[in-house]
């Protein structure tokens, strides 16, 4: 008996020595593995703000509920509590019970992500075994549908997916940290052992956007698209001095704070991605090329009688016979015949040269995902019809932002400046692409477009008390594989104000407006006026003293019944040839 007790004590002593001495390190590691954890410290994503520091995208703290299926299944007595939680979260009970059983070999599955902390905490306080909370952040977009096309959005893990959120992912994302903690068997925190690596938050991104102008432009565009029953539209506002984008909006849209309403067409930033034929807005550059050629000057007269011209068996016609016309009258009236004759006289090379210099056919370089460079025509041999089409804005494609960049050249009297989506500090230097005297002469002609006295096509772009320069354009819709649809149009207006010291360049494009009015001067020009007038107020641009003194002499808005009976036609088919 004594021997048996001695043997038992020896065995116990040996086991104690084995646990405390020989295998202490191994057992310590095993124990730590079950109770000590390295937990990630979430790094906050950087905010996106406008030029005045107003938030456009920010991350707010939320709680995500997750479950340990193994632990839940080990406690069937709490099934009633789980069913109540499912009902409260509007989750189908039978489906979730099946999911829990299907994941019985796992220790982690999300129940519901990114909940308001108070709501999630109320559920966690019920003490359901196997149900836990995880701190996360949710991206919130204060501008909603007015900013989504530019700002973009992130996914559930706050990784940039669209727009500037994607373009500046590396700048905005933070670097997670870690901390050492001790937890009990059901995952509750017992002790915090301290931070091992500190989290580094993401960087703030300061855009050139002015939130006030963004809202104004979006409201004006949405109202016009709705009123005209149009398919889509876009408006861009540039700072004429710096080339910064002050506003960039598109229609249709959707609210990124409500992911259930997502639609892909509502994500398209049409100012940088849509390729459109610019139509008569290009006559500005055609006249520039004419003046540069030396074959024309500001006093030149072009005979447009009898109101049409046949080129390669196609008829190009004006609404009425404008007869002998100066370059200024051709711009103001948007004469197809005059532009075609100018183009045929100076040739395609002279026009292409100007188009390239103002930025068409090349990437603007904003870094925006999917930004396209447009397309200038390259023909081994140019027909007369192709040359004439180039003169009035057909046969090549540009983005609305490229059109705004091109008109920025005239706002700066021939200087080309870079476009920026980020706030720019200090003056921006440009480089000359058009002679100052020629650019100034063309600007004077663009004023005639909005002049009632000149009978211009863009009088609805007028702003009371301010001088405006710009050009309307109306093109037939081009359908790839089918050609031109002469029943659907794209309406443009591009311009700037005030003329004597431009502060903003505004381009509006509206696709497929419906109704009797479809011309750029009818559909897009009023939107330009609304946006530009609002910009004058927001940017605190005072009217010129000379205009204030003669405010009563300003032309009244053109009435509907004063419009030409026939809209300017950009091109025509063989059937239109006058016999």
Tell me how far apart the alpha carbons of residues 205 and 46 are, in angstroms, rounded to a whole number: 7
pLDDT digits (tens, 9 = 90+) for 62-106: 888 888 888 888 888 887 888 888 888 888 888 888 888 888 888
Considering the domain architecture, whether residues 159 and 217 belong to the same structural domain is answered as no
Q: Would 131 be classed as within a structural domain?
A: yes
Tell me how far apart the alpha carbons of residues 370 and 336 are, in angstroms, rounded to a whole number: 34
User: What's CA 370's distance to the chain center, in Å?
Assistant: 11
Residue 479: what are its φ and ψ, rounded to 5°?
-110, 115
Give me the pLDDT at residue 5, please: 57
Q: Which of 206, 227, 246 is the last residue of a domain?
A: 206
CA distances from 229 to 46, 138, 224, 405 (A): 39, 35, 8, 28
Q: Do residues 348 and 337 lie in contact, with contact meaning Cβ atoms separated by under 8 Å?
A: no
Q: Would 12 be classed as within a structural domain?
A: no
CA distances from 32 to 20, 23, 38, 377, 535 (A): 15, 14, 11, 70, 64
**β pairing state of 205-206 and 48-49:** parallel
Q: Would 400 be classed as within a structural domain?
A: yes
Considering the domain architecture, whether residues 315 and 201 belong to the same structural domain is answered as no
The domain that holds 97 is classified in CATH as 3.90.1310.10
Q: Decide which of 86 and 309 is more confident.
A: 309
Q: What is the domain count for the chain?
A: 2
User: What's CA 332's distance to the chain center, in Å?
Assistant: 31
**β pairing state of 153-154 and 131-140:** unpaired
CA distances from 491 to 9, 473, 495 (A): 99, 6, 14
Considering the domain architecture, whether residues 386 and 527 belong to the same structural domain is answered as yes
Q: Would 240 be classed as within a structural domain?
A: yes
Which of the listed ranges 187-201, 251-265, 447-461 does the model predict with the highest average pLDDT? 447-461
Q: Would 397 be classed as within a structural domain?
A: yes
Tell me how far apart the alpha carbons of residues 383 and 414 are, in angstroms, rounded to a whole number: 30
Considering the domain architecture, whether residues 201 and 243 belong to the same structural domain is answered as no
pLDDT digits (tens, 9 = 90+) for 327-386: 999 999 999 999 999 999 999 999 999 999 999 999 999 999 999 999 999 999 999 999
Considering the domain architecture, whether residues 296 and 326 belong to the same structural domain is answered as yes
Give me the pLDDT at residue 576, please: 30
Considering the domain architecture, whether residues 239 and 182 belong to the same structural domain is answered as no
Q: What is the pTM of this model?
A: 0.84
Q: Do residues 205 and 46 lie in contact, with contact meaning Cβ atoms separated by under 8 Å?
A: yes
Q: What is the DSSP letter of 572?
A: -
Q: Would 323 be classed as within a structural domain?
A: yes
pLDDT at 184 over 90: no
Considering the domain architecture, whether residues 285 and 177 belong to the same structural domain is answered as no
* Cis peptide bond upstream of 349, omega within 30: no
Q: Give buried/exposed letters for 387-425 (b at 16+ CB in 10 A, else e).
A: bbbbbbbbbbbbbbbbbbbbbbbbbbbbbbbbbbbbbbe
User: What's CA 389's distance to the chain center, in Å?
Assistant: 30
pLDDT digits (tens, 9 = 90+) for 437-486: 999 999 999 999 999 888 899 999 999 999 999 999 999 998 888 888 88
Close Cβ partners of 365 (under 8 Å, ≥ 6 residues apart): 418, 419
Q: Would 8 be classed as within a structural domain?
A: no
Is-catalytic flag, 280? yes
Burial (CB < 10 A; 0-12, 13-18, 19+), residue 177, is middle
- Name the strand (E) or helix (H) holding 282: none
Q: From the candidates 253, 280, 325, 491, which is the catalytic residue? A: 280
The domain that holds 422 is classified in CATH as 3.40.710.10
Q: What percent of the chain has pLDDT over 70?
A: 85
CA distances from 49 to 55, 139, 258, 298 (A): 4, 13, 20, 46
Give me the pLDDT at residue 28, please: 57
For the chain, the average pLDDT equals 86
Tell me how far apart the alpha carbons of residues 215 and 534 are, in angstroms, rounded to a whole number: 11
Average pLDDT over residues 29-44: 66
Q: Decide which of 134 and 148 is more confident.
A: 148
Beta-bridge partners for 58 = 140
Considering the domain architecture, whether residues 78 and 128 belong to the same structural domain is answered as yes
What is the band of 1 on the pLDDT scale with cuts at 50, 70, 90? low
Closest by CA position to 232, among listed 253, 247, 216, 246: 253
Considering the domain architecture, whether residues 161 and 224 belong to the same structural domain is answered as no
Q: Do residues 249 and 349 lie in contact, with contact meaning Cβ atoms separated by under 8 Å?
A: no
Considering the domain architecture, whether residues 143 and 234 belong to the same structural domain is answered as no
Q: Would 5 be classed as within a structural domain?
A: no
Give me the pLDDT at residue 23, please: 56
Tell me how far apart the alpha carbons of residues 406 and 340 are, in angstroms, rounded to a whole number: 21
Domain that residue 160 falls in: 39-206
pLDDT digits (tens, 9 = 90+) for 490-524: 999 999 999 999 999 999 999 999 999 999 999 99
Burial (CB < 10 A; 0-12, 13-18, 19+), residue 298, is middle
What is the band of 541 on the pLDDT scale with cuts at 50, 70, 90? very high
Considering the domain architecture, whether residues 362 and 470 belong to the same structural domain is answered as yes
Considering the domain architecture, whether residues 135 and 240 belong to the same structural domain is answered as no
Instruction: With H, G, I as helix, E, B as strand and everything else as coil, classify residue 491.
Output: strand
């Amino acid at each position: 008996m004594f021997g048996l007790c001695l043997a038992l004590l020896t065995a116990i002593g040996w086991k104690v020595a084995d646990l405390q001495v020989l295998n202490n390190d191994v057992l310590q590691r095993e124990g730590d593995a079950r109770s000590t954890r390295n937990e990630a410290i979430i790094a906050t994503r950087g905010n996106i703000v406008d030029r005045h520091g107003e938030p456009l995208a920010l991350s707010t703290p939320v709680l995500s509920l997750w479950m340990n299926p193994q632990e839940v299944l080990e406690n069937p007595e709490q099934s009633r509590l789980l069913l109540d939680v499912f009902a409260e979260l509007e989750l189908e009970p039978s489906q979730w019970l099946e999911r829990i059983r299907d994941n019985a070999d796992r220790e982690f599955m999300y129940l519901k992500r990114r909940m308001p902390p108070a709501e999630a905490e109320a559920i966690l306080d019920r003490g359901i075994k196997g149900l836990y909370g995880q701190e996360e952040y949710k991206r919130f977009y204060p501008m909603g549908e007015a900013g989504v096309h530019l700002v973009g959005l992130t996914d559930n893990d706050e990784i940039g997916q669209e727009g500037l959120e994607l373009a500046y992912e590396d700048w905005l994302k933070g670097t997670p940290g870690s901390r050492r903690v001790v937890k009990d068997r059901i995952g509750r925190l017992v002790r915090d052992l301290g931070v091992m690596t500190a989290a580094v938050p993401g960087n703030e991104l300061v855009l050139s956007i002015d939130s006030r102008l963004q809202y104004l432009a979006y409201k004006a565009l949405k109202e016009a698209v709705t009123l005209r029953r149009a398919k889509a539209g876009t408006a861009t506002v540039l700072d004429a001095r710096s080339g910064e984008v002050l506003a960039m909006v598109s229609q249709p849209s959707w609210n990124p704070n409500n992911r259930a309403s997502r639609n892909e067409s509502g994500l398209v930033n049409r100012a940088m991605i849509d390729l459109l034929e610019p139509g008569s807005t290009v006559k500005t550059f055609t006249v520039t090329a004419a003046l540069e050629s030396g074959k024309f000057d500001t006093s030149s007269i072009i005979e447009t009688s009898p109101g049409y011209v046949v080129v390669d068996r196609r008829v190009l016609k004006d609404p009425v016979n404008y007869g002998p016309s100066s370059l200024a009258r051709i711009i103001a009236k948007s004469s197809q015949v005059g532009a075609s004759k100018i183009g045929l006289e100076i040739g395609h090379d002279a026009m292409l040269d100007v188009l390239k210099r103002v930025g068409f056919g090349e990437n603007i370089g904003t870094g925006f995902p999917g930004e396209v460079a447009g397309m200038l025509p390259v023909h081994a041999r140019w027909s007369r019809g192709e040359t004439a089409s180039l003169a009035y804005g057909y046969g090549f494609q540009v983005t609305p932002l490229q059109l705004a960049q091109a008109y920025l050249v005239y706002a700066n009297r021939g200087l080309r400046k870079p476009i920026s989506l980020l706030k720019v500090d200090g003056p921006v230097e440009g480089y000359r692409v058009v002679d100052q005297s020629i650019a100034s002469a063309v600007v004077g002609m663009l004023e005639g477009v909005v002049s009632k006295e000149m009978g211009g096509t863009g009088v609805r772009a007028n702003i009371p008390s301010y001088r405006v320069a710009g050009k309307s354009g109306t093109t037939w819709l081009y359908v790839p594989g089918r050609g031109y649809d002469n029943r659907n149009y794209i309406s443009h207006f591009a311009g700037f104000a005030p003329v004597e010291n431009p502060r903003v360049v505004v381009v509006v494009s509206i696709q497929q407006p419906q109704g009797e009015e479809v011309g750029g001067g009818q559909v897009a020009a009023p939107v330009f006026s609304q946006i530009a007038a609002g910009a004058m107020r927001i940017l605190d641009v005072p009217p010129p003293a000379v205009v204030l003194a003669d405010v009563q002499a300003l032309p009244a808005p053109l009435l509907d019944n004063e419009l030409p009976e026939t809209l300017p036609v950009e091109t025509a088919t063989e059937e239109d040839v006058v016999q």
